[in-house]
Amino acid sequence: MKIFIYLIRVSVVSGFLIFTHVRAQNVGVNTTNPQASLHIDGSKDNPSSGTPTSAQAANDVVFTSSGQIGIGTLNPAVKIDARSSDNTDNAIGIGKTTQTASDAGAGALRYNSFNGGKMQYSDGTVWQELVSTPTKSILVANIMSANFTIRIPYQNATAIQGWNEISDPANNFNPSTGVFTAPRTGIYLVSFTYDFVRVPIVSGYFSEARYVVNGNNTVKKCIKSFSNTSREAQIAGSCVAGVYLNKGDVFQPQIYQSVYNGDLSLRTDNSTSSPDYGFINLSIIEQ
Q: What does the alpha-carbon distance between residue 169 and residue 10 come to, in Å, rounded to a whole number?
A: 68
Q: Reply yes or no on whether the pLDDT at 228 is more than 90.
A: no
Does residue 21 surpass a pLDDT of 90? no
Name the pLDDT band for 157 (thresholds 50, 70, 90). Answer: very high
Q: Where are the domains of the chain?
A: 7-81, 93-132, 138-286
Check pLDDT > 80 for residue 22: no
pLDDT above 50 for 227? yes
Asked whether the predicted pLDDT for residue 16 surpasses 80, the reply is: no
Mean residue pLDDT of the chain comes to 89
pLDDT tens, residue by residue, 182-222: 999 999 999 999 999 988 876 668 899 999 999 999 999 99
Torsions phi, psi of 154, nearest 5?
-70, 125
Confidence of residue 244 (pLDDT cuts 50, 70, 90): very high
Is pLDDT at 109 greater than 90 in this prediction? yes
The CB density around residue 76, as the number of other CB atoms within 10 Å, is 21
Highest CATH level, class, for 138-286: mainly beta
Asked if 260 contacts 234 with a C-beta cutoff of 8 angstroms, the reply is no
